[in-house]
Structures are given as structure tokens and as C-alpha cells.
Amino acid sequence: MFSAKAIGFQALGLALAMSLGLAFQAQAADVKAGQLKAGMCVTCHGAYGYSTMPNAPHLAGQPAIYIEEQLKQYRSGKRVNAVMAVMAKPLTDAEIENLAAWYASIPIEVGKPN
């Protein structure tokens, strides 16, 4: 049987490990690095993720996890688009996370139609 003191230390250790894990996740992506890397995306997706082309989606305000998944699928070839395959192929996981963080950080506003 564990003593109350041992259980207290285990709980403290678990809480510390969880908080460190959350802190690491929160710091994993670099929004500023993502903004710099997004220079390669501007032609189609606009300077702030608002598309300038009718066949390119708006990226501003999209959840980071969604953008990450799409870029990884383009990179692997699971999702097919001639332009995006070329753009995503050289990206590292960290660059994808940074790009996703940048686009997710851009606030968007939706209003009622007139």
C-alpha cells in the first residue's frame, strides 16, 4: 500500500509533468517564424491569409491543426494539388507548425449579411 505522502508526491510529480508538457506544446510553434515563412504563400493566399485567387482558400483564422494536417497531406502526396505539392514538399514539421500558428493567430470577423 502507498502512504499518503507517497501518493502526494506522485500527484505532485504528475501535475508538474503535465504542466511542463502543456508549456512545451504552447511554445512549440513560433508565430513570427511562421509569418516570415508565409512570404512564399502570399501570391495565392494573400499577405494576411485572405486569398487573392478564387481557387485558393482563405487561411486566416483557420485552426492550426487543420492547416498542419492539410500541409502534411500535400507534402506526402496524400492530398493532390500541383502547386501545393511543390510548396509543401520542402517544409519541415516545425515550419508547418509555425505556418499553422501564424494563420491561426490572424483574427477574422464575420458579420451578418445585409
Q: What is the DSSP string of 17-85?
A: HHHHHHHHHHHHS-HHHHHHHGGGGHHHH-TTS--SSTTS---TT--HHHHHHHHHHHHHTSS--HHHH
Domains and CATH numbers, the chain: 30-105 (1.10.760.10)
Instruction: For residue range 1-53, list pLDDT tens digits in order.
Output: 555 564 554 645 545 545 445 444 545 799 999 999 999 999 999 999 999 89
pTM, two decimal places: 0.74
